[in-house]
Amino acid sequence: MRFHRVRVESRERLGSYRVLRYPWEGDVEPGQFVLIRAASQRTSFDPFLARPFSVYDLRGGVMSVLLEVRGRGTRLIASSEEIEVSAPHGRGYRPDVPAGRVALIAREGKVAPLRLLYRRLQERGVDHDIFLQLAAAQVPILRDFPGARVVDDFGDLSGYAAVYASGPGAVPPGIPCQVAVEEMMACGEGSCYGCAVPLAGGGYARACVEGPVFEARELAWI
Amino acid sequence: MDLNVELCGLRLHTPLVPAAGTHGKEAVQASEGVYGAVLPKTVTPQPRTGNPPPRLAETPAGMINSIGLQNPGVERFMEELDAFDTGVPLFVSVAGETAGDYSLLCGRLAADDRVRAIELNLSCPNVERGGLYFCAVPASVEEVVAAAVEAAGGKPVLAKLASEGAVEGAQAAERAGAAAVTLINTLPALAVDARRREVRLRGGLSGPAIKPVALRAVYEAFRAVGIPILGCGGVATGTDVAEFMLAGATAVQIGSAGFVRDPREILREFSGYLRETGLDARDLIGAAH
Ligand SMILES: Cc1cc2nc3c(=O)[nH]c(=O)nc-3n(C[C@H](O)[C@H](O)[C@H](O)COP(=O)(O)OP(=O)(O)OC[C@H]3O[C@@H](n4cnc5c(N)ncnc54)[C@H](O)[C@@H]3O)c2cc1C
Ligand SMILES: Cc1cc2nc3c(=O)[nH]c(=O)nc-3n(C[C@H](O)[C@H](O)[C@H](O)COP(=O)(O)O)c2cc1C
Ligand code: FES
């Protein structure tokens, strides 16, 4: 895997989230992810693997990711001036939807992949509503999702033409739904088959190549 | 400074080879001539869906995997083989449950001109011998290598072994006609989730954590057999490549390190080592003995 060393340009706290920004030339699809590690990991191999993060936003040559500190890897990344990043990978959301209003839903605070998607839908004039399941410490993220509603559950989504989800969970029957999943990854580029996601028809897909965004009906666990 | 090595009658323009199961076609295509040969993921006679997740755990300087040899089966694999053609010799890794499976796979692969050598992944249960790994029983190694060599009709057969019993296994493989041995496969490992009080993953350990174990296996096998050795296990830097060759490896496989490093950098570091020492790659082989 090819990593690029970049300097973190800015770092901002929004409740329990942190936004990291770094320079990046190139394009990205909403829902794609990057692998990130602290620069020190290159030679220390400690932690050994880089960590996957959804692309949060990309504008004017500045990439942002939204991270929550979970364990050693995220703690180290959050406090590093210099990080190493991969190019964006994977299959993102495919916002080629039937005409009509669409819903963007984030389960358990997994809002990151929806930000760029929401901006792109907005640019294209697609009508949408955003529903976010947030813990109290996550509510400050609403700054980046103007108009979004904080919900405990998503209620009846049957009036929408399509649903774009982040995080696993029940899907409204009969509505086209794309969902972003998080699976542990090693290579992030299709080599190791470590990021297996069970498919409805049997067998597994790789979250890093065939995903991380899937048609919800393709997946076994929904 | 000359990077060329000769392995089983093939000229490799560098001594680096991807380790089976760690370099998909995207990674191979991105490696831009770093590798002296290409080696895709192990293929079995029939498709295998692989193990349910989780399949990965991280360890200090390494990782544990339990993929379960997910692969599309030999027929589909052959249809997609051109994706691995990068102009360097193509090796194919095979596995089965019986000596007959290995022999069938070798026959099928040997008939294809694109395949230049076959590596037997012997870290698999032998269903005809109570499910013990082939590589754990020298008599099994000898039986399966002999069957594979016969079916391969002159194409080089490499036997990939575990660290445990590496010397006896390498000797058995040599007796049975193997052209080379690959040392080592992953080490048996376990990850336990203390919070949930349950096993998280039972699988194989790889990465820099296993390098000293792999070096020892290469070193001892070099003294015990006359056939070439492909060193494998924890190689992550150019110096690691040199160390494996000094211990006795003719070529060196890059596995998990490919997930966290650009193999072009590893080759650059190794070239730097050769330039500094004024040696050619082939001068290193076994020079620490
Ligand atoms: C496609 C994708 C997109 C993601 N996007 C984001 C994001 O935008 N923001 C964010 O905060 N987090 C995101 N995550 C989750 C993030 O990668 C994990 O929180 C992080 O890897 C945890 O590492 P750690 O060392 O802090 O935690 P530890 O618990 O110490 O990690 C131990 C191991 O488990 C793995 N792991 C732990 N939790 C997860 C998880 N939820 N998903 C995958 N692997 C995990 C780690 O990679 C590591 O190898 C994403 C994960 C994936 C797969
Ligand atoms: C994710 C993963 C998948 C692997 N798959 C295979 C495989 O299909 N066949 C095989 O012979 N070895 C397989 N291995 C073992 C490697 O080829 C190699 O022997 C081992 O990882 C030690 O080398 P390393 O420390 O450089 O990774 C796999 C290893 C990893 C990490
Ligand atoms: S992380 Fe290796 S195949 Fe997806």
Ligand 2 pocket residue status of B31, Cβ below 6 Å: no
Q: How far apart are CA B67 and CA B160, in angstroms?
A: 18
Residue B171: predicted pLDDT: 98
pLDDT beneath 70, residues of chain B: none
Q: Is residue A98 over pLDDT 70?
A: no
**Taking CB atoms and an 8 Å limit, are A192 and B67 in contact across chains?**
yes
Give the active site residues of B. Answer: 124
Minimal CA separation from A167 to chain B, in Å: 17
Q: Comparing C-alpha atoms, which of B127, B203, B201, B137 is closest to residue B164?
A: B137
**Stretch A169-189: mean pLDDT, rounded?**
91
Using CB atoms, pick whichever of B26, B41, B55 lies closest to residue A196. Answer: B55
A171 — pLDDT class (breaks 50, 70, 90) = confident
Please state, in angstroms and rounded to a whole number, the distance separating the CA atoms of residues A215 and B241: 43
Q: A220 CB near a chain B CB, below 8 Å?
A: no
Indicate the burial class of B198 (C-beta count within 10 angstroms; 0-12, 13-18, 19 or more).
exposed
pLDDT surpassing 90 at residue A56:
yes
Q: What are phi and psi of A105, to 5 degrees?
A: -130, 135
Q: Which two tokens stand for residue A112?
A: 């990151």
Contact flag A46-B260 (C-beta cutoff 8 Å): no
Mind listing the pLDDT tens digit for each residue in B92-128?
A: 999 999 999 999 999 999 999 999 999 999 998 888 8
User: So where are chain A's domains?
Assistant: 4-85, 102-218
Residue B200 lies in a domain: no
Phi then psi dihedrals of residue B26, to 5 deg: -60, -45
Strand A213-215 vs strand A177-180: parallel, antiparallel, or unpaired? antiparallel
Tell me the residues of B at the A interface, defined by beta carbons under 8 Å apart: 21-27, 30, 41, 49-56, 58-63, 65, 67, 70, 207-208, 236, 256, 258-262
pTM attached to this predicted model: 0.96
List all residues whose CB is within 6 A of at least one atom of ligand 1: A 33, 49, 51-54, 65-68, 70-74, 112, 182-185, 212; B 58
- Tell me how far the alpha carbon of residue A150 lies from the centroid of ligand 2, in angstroms: 45
Distance between Cα B91 and ligand 3 center (Å) = 22
Minimum Cα–Cα distance from A89: chain B residue: B26
3-state secondary structure A178-210: EEECCCCCCCCCCCCCCCEEEECCCCEEECCCC
Nearest one of B162, B123, B120, B118 to B144, comparing CA atoms: B120
Residue B58 lies in a domain: no
With bands split at pLDDT 50, 70 and 90, how would you rate the model's confidence at A194? very high
B22:A191 CB<8 A: yes
Report whether pLDDT(A222) > 60.
no
Query: Virtual CA dihedral for A148, A149, A155, A161, nearest 10 degrees?
Result: -20
Q: Do A184 and B207 lie within an 8 Å CB cutoff?
A: no
Q: What is the pLDDT of residue A63?
A: 98
Residue B8: predicted pLDDT: 95
CA A187 to ligand 1 centroid distance, Å: 14
Q: Scanning every residue of chain B, which has its alpha carbon at the shortest distance from the alpha carbon of A84? A: B260
Decide if A42 contacts B265 (C-beta within 8 A): no
Q: Is residue B106 part of a domain?
A: yes
Please check whether residue A85 is in contact with residue A22, taking contact to mean a CB–CB distance below 8 angstroms: yes
B41 min Cα distance to partner chain A (Å): 9
Number of domains in chain B: 1
3-state class (DSSP) for residue B252: strand
What is the reported pLDDT for A57? 97
CB atoms B70 and A37 under 8 Å = no
For A39-143, strand residue ranges (E) read: 51-54, 57-59, 62-67, 82-85, 102-106, 128-132
Residue B192 in domain: no
Strand order in the sheet with A4-7: A4-7, A82-85, A33-38, A51-54
Is residue B289 in some structural domain?
no
Average pLDDT, chain A: 94
For residue B83, what are the domain limits?
Answer: 5-52+66-186+207-284
CATH fold of A4-85: Elongation Factor Tu (Ef-tu); domain 3 (2.40.30)
Q: Is the pLDDT of residue A97 over 70?
A: no
Residue A62 in 3-state DSSP?
strand
Q: What pLDDT does residue B168 have?
A: 97
Q: Do residues B214 and B206 lie in contact, with contact meaning Cβ atoms separated by under 8 Å?
A: no
Pocket flag, ligand 2, residue B232 (CB < 6 Å): yes
- Chain B residues touching A198 at Cβ < 8 A: 52-53
Say what the pLDDT of residue B194 is: 97
Dist. CA A197–CA A211, nearest whole Å? 9
pLDDT at residue B126 in the model: 84
Nearest CA in chain A to B53: A196
Cβ–ligand 2 contact at B65 (below 6 Å): yes
CB contact under 8 A, A46 and B22: no
Radius of gyration of chain B, Cα coordinates, nearest whole angstrom: 18
> What is the C-alpha to C-alpha distance for residues B126 and B140, in angstroms, rounded to an integer?
8
ipTM exceeding cut-off 0.85 for this assembly: yes
Compute the average pLDDT of residues A190-219: 96
Domain with B178 in it: what CATH number?
3.20.20.70
CA A146 to chain centre: 18
The reported pLDDT for the residue numbered B125 is: 84
CA B53 to chain A, closest CA, distance in angstroms equals 6
Contact of B46 with B95, CB cutoff 8 Å: no
pLDDT at position A11: 95
**Is A89 part of the contact surface with chain B (CB cutoff 8 Å)?**
no
Q: Do B285 and B218 form a contact (C-beta atoms < 8 A)?
A: no
pLDDT of residue A169: 82
Alpha helices in B137-262 (DSSP H): 138-151, 166-175, 211-224, 238-247, 257-260
pLDDT digits (tens, 9 = 90+) for A105-150: 999 999 999 999 999 999 989 999 999 999 999 999 999 999 999 9
Contact B56, B65 (CB under 8 A): yes
Q: Which residue of B has its CA nearest to A191?
A: B24
